[in-house]
Structure 1
Amino acid sequence: MVCGGSCLTCPVAYSALSMVAIGIKRIYRKPMQKKRLVSQLIFLFITNAAFIFGATGLIYSYFYCWESPQATMSCPIGILEHAVLEASIFLAIYLVGTVAIIGTIFGRAPCGWACPIGFLQDVVGKIKISREIKRSKADERARYLKYAILAAIPFAVYHFATMAYTDICPIGGLTATLPILLFHYGGYTPTEFFLPKMILLALTIFLIVNVKRGWCRYLCPVGAMLAPFNKISVLQLTFDESQCLKCMNCARVCPMKINLPYDVKSMECIRCGMCVDECPTEALKLEFKWK
C-alpha cells in the first residue's frame, strides 16, 4: 500500500479517525442523537463540497471560514466584515435577513445540528478529554465574551480597514489556513497575521479539548448572532413540569450546562436534544411550535 502523504501523515490520520469513531460511538446512541449525527454529517459534506457545487454565494448558518478551498458558502462574519469594508447596504440586509429567517425558525439549533466545529467539539467531548465545567459566576460572565467579540468586529474592521477578525480567526486557521498549507502549499503566502492566527488556534484547540463546547460557550460570534432568537424561535425546547421526576438527568448531560429543566429558552441552548433523549417521562420535548 502506498501512502499519498508523508510517513507521519498516515499514523496521525489513523489516530484522528480512531478518536472520531470512539467519540461518535459514545455520543450518538440515543434516537435523537442518531438523527443529529446524520444531520451533522450531511452538513459537513455540504460545507466542504465546493468541488461539486462551487462557491454559491449563500451564507452558512454556522461558523466556517469562507476562505477554505472546500467552502461552498460564506461565513456570516465574513459577510459582516465585507458589509462594513464596502459600506454595502445590500450585504448588510442580506446578512440580517438570512440570520433573522434562520434564527426565527430554528433559534440556535444550527450550532447543534449543522456546524462542523460543533460536531468536532461533540466528538472530542466524548473521548474523556474535555472536562465538565460547572455553572459558576466566572463561567456565566465568560459566556458574554462572544457577544463582546461580535460587537467589536464591525468597529475593528472600520478602524483598521481590513478583515480584522478573519485575519486572526482561529477557526479560519483550522478550516482554511492549515488545509491550504497541507494540500495547496504553493497557493499560500504567509502574512504578518499568520503567527497570531496559529497562536489563537492553539489556544482554541486547548479550550475545546479541556472544556465541552468551549468554543460555543465563550467565543463563537455566530452563536452570539443566533442566541437571542432562542426566545422566539419556532423550534422550541418545551418542559412539562407535571411529568418531571426531578432526576436531573437533563442537567447532567447538557453540553452547554444551562439551567435545565427550567430555563428551556436559554440563549445558550443549542437545541441538541440530549436532554430530551435522557428524560424518562418525556417531560422535555424538542418541537416546532407554529402558534
Structure 2
Amino acid sequence: MAESVGAVDNAVFDERLANFQNWQETPWGQLRYSVVAANLDRHLGDGPLRVLDVAGGNGKEGVRLALAGHRVTVFDVAPVSLEGARRLAEERGVSDLVDVREGDAHDVPKLFEGQEFDLLLCHNLLQYVPDRAEVFRGLATLLKPGGLLSVVCPNTYAVPLEAAVRELDLEAALRAVDARTKANVVYGKDIDVLDVAEIAGLYRESGLEVVGTHGVMNVCNLIADNEIKHDPRFFARLEELEIALAARQPYPSTARMFHLIGRRPS
C-alpha cells in the first residue's frame, strides 16, 4: 500500500510541537531514541559521514550524530521545529556540523540534486506522507554506493497486542487485527501503521539491500503501569533488555516500531 490514509497536514507538526517535546522527555520517549541509536550504531563504520536527516524535527537525532563527528543536514517541513534544531546544535557546540533546511519530503531529490549522502535517516515519516513509495524512492536516489538508509515506522502487528496486554481491551484488540491506522495522541488524529514487508519491498525496488531488521520498544509498550517507568533503576534495566531484544527474531516482528537499515551496494 503506497498511499497513506493517515496523512497529517504539515502545519500540525509545529502546532503540536509542545506535545511532541513533552513525549520526547518521558522515559519511554527517551527509550525510543536510545534503542534506535543502538540499532544504527551496529551498522556505522569509522570516520565522519555526511548525513541527511529527513523529518529531523528539533534535531535530537541529528545533533547526536554531529556530536560523534558527522556532518548533518536536518531537513523538515516544520520551521518552528527546525529552529529548535538550530538552538540544540548551538547549545551542544556542534552548530558548525549541523545545517538546517526547510522543505517537503516529496521534494528531497530536487532540493538536494547532485548531492550524495553516506547516511539517510527517515524516522517516523512514512506514516505521515501522502505517497510513501515516492518519498522512499526519492531518498534512495541520494545514497552513495555503500551508503545506508535507516527507516523507522509504527508496526501494525503491535497494535492488537498493546490493546490486549496493556489495556486489557480484547474488543479493541480484535478490531485492530485488520486495522491499518491507530490513534496518535501527540498529533490528535489517526495515523497509518505499516507492515515491515511493505517497506522491505521498497528497499528491494530501489536497489538497496536490507542489512538490519530491528525492533524498537519490544516490551515497553506492553507494560500497563507507566508509573514504574519513572523509576530510574527499573528503566535502566528495561533499556538494557530492549537493546538486547532489538535485533533478535522474533521480537522485532511485534515491536511497537520496526527499524530497517538498508545499504546501496558498492
Range into which the TM-score falls when normalised by the shorter chain: under 0.3
Q: TM-score, normalised by structure 2?
A: 0.28
Structure number with the higher helix fraction is: 1
Q: TM-score, normalised by structure 1?
A: 0.26
Structure number with the higher strand fraction is: 2
